[in-house]
């Protein structure tokens, strides 16, 4: 099962900034601005936090931001807080028969 590549874990201290990467190919992340990010707390459903690479849904903190360069998208969490401790998944439209793919997921730990 094809998936976008994310680091397994990223950690930071409260108040710091961290960045989670999401690496795809020229057939998905590199070709389309349809990258989304989801936050998932244990035992809960995922929650959309970024869409179209860098847009935030209503109610999502401006401490979360998204960007893209080439085949790699990134999620930055600034001013890290305890509530940010969760799993994060990127996703992208692929434009191929695969159509849509998630990342492998990153566990963010607040030290």
Partner 1 sequence: QVQLVQSGTEVKKPGASMKVSCKASGYTFPNYGISWVRQAPGQGLEWMGWINPNSGNTFYAQNLQDRVTMTTDTSTSTAYMELRSLRSDDSAVYYCARKVRWELDSWGQGTLVTVSS
d(CA 97, CA 45): 26
User: Which single residue is written with the structure tokens 């397994």?
Assistant: 8
Q: In this chain, which stretch among 12-20, 65-73, 74-82, 95-103 interacts with partner 1, using CB under 8 A?
A: 95-103
Distance of CA 73 to the CA centre of its chain: 8
- Pick from 11, 69, 81, 98: which binds partner 1 (CB under 8 A)? 98
- Pick from 15, 81, 100, 109: which binds partner 1 (CB under 8 A)? 100
- Is 72 in contact with 110 (CB distance < 8 Å)? no
CA distances from 86 to 1, 32, 43, 95, 100 (A): 23, 26, 11, 29, 23
Q: In this chain, which stretch among 18-26, 38-46, 64-72, 75-83 interacts with partner 1, using CB under 8 A?
A: 38-46
* Least CB distance to partner 1 at residue 45 (A): 4
Note the residues at the interface with partner 1 (CB under 8 A).
1, 3, 32, 34, 36, 38, 40, 45-48, 51-52, 57, 89, 91-93, 97-105
């Amino acid at each position: 099962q094809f998936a976008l590549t994310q680091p397994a874990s990223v950690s930071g201290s409260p108040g710091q900034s961290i960045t989670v990467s999401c690496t795809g190919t020229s057939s998905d992340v590199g070709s389309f601005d349809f990258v989304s990010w989801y936050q998932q707390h244990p035992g809960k459903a995922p929650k959309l936090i970024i869409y179209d690479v860098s847009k935030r849904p209503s109610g999502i903190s401006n401490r979360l931001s998204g960007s893209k360069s080439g085949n790699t998208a990134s999620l930055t969490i600034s001013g890290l807080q305890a509530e940010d401790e969760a799993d994060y998944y990127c996703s992208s439209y692929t434009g191929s028969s695969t159509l849509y793919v998630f990342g492998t997921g990153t566990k963010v730990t607040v030290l």
